[in-house]
Amino acid sequence: MNCEPSHPGPTPLPASARLEAQLGFILEIDKVKSVLRQTLLTDESRRENDAEHSWHLALMAITLQEYAPAGLDIHRAVTMLLIHDLVEIDCGDTFCYDEAGMVGKHEREAAAADRIFGLLPADSGGPLRELWDEFEERRTPESRFANALDRLQPMLHNCATAGGAWREHGVTADRVLRRNRIIGAGAPELWAYARAMIVDAVARGLLDPGPDYERELAAG
């Protein structure tokens, strides 16, 4: 007769299919911590990752909300900023001044959005997927403000790191002005500051002006 005590396996966790899906999504998005961007941390020790970028933007939105349009739903804007780069789990970060890399970027990221937000129950994943589209389309005050912050943050880092990714990749001031002018659509006061920051970066030798600098500067 076997008197050895039995050792039953672990008891399955009492989770519904809904909770399993939600926790699966949470584990999946942990991967965003491993997606590196071109932007340096302000101490220049390494490149920032997407999770750090999104956290920084969310706090920027809370801190700078007085520069947003009146009546803006700050919770909606913060949520956009926290989810907008989850698609880079599948696609990686595409440097915004890499013209070849930008070809087909939206299509790649839309497919990633389908997969990642599709991990959630439809009643929560669907609204997040729509919010991702709203950010991309810049059709609401919240999405325009969120995009303004998304453009401003790397500019702040580049100026704080003696040109940072601008100098590493040979980006010129005329291109910086052209790409980031949409800040003005979401937060005019922040664009006035950012534009002055570009002019100062050129004066300090952190940014080469580029052939169209005066024309882009005159465009506002």
pLDDT at 3 over 60: no
- CA 92, CA 201: separation in Å to the nearest integer? 29
Backbone angles phi, psi at 70, to 5 degrees: -60, 140
- The matching CATH number, chosen from 3.30.56.10, 1.10.3210.10, 1.10.260.40, 3.40.50.620, for 18-218 is 1.10.3210.10
Give residue 12's pLDDT.
Answer: 58
Whole-number CA gyration radius for the chain: 21
Residue 11, pLDDT score? 58
Instruction: Provide DSSP, 153-215.
Output: HHHHHHHHTTTHHHHHTT-BHHHHHHHHTTHHHH-HHHHHHHHHHHHHHHHTTSSB--TTHHH
Domain chopping of the chain, boundaries: 18-218
Tens of pLDDT, residues 88-145: 999 999 998 988 888 999 999 999 999 999 999 999 999 999 999 999 999 999 999 9
Can you read off the two tokens belonging to residue 9? 């396996």
How much of the chain, in percent, has pLDDT values that exceed 90? Answer: 89
Question: Which of the pair, 9 or 60, is modelled with greater confidence?
Answer: 60
Averaged pLDDT of the chain: 94
pLDDT in tens, 140-173: 999 999 999 999 999 999 999 999 999 999 999 9
Q: Work out the average pLDDT over 25-42.
A: 97
Reported confidence tier of residue 14, pLDDT bands at 50, 70, 90 = low
CB 47 within 8 A of CB 37: yes
Encoding tokens for residue 135?
């950010």
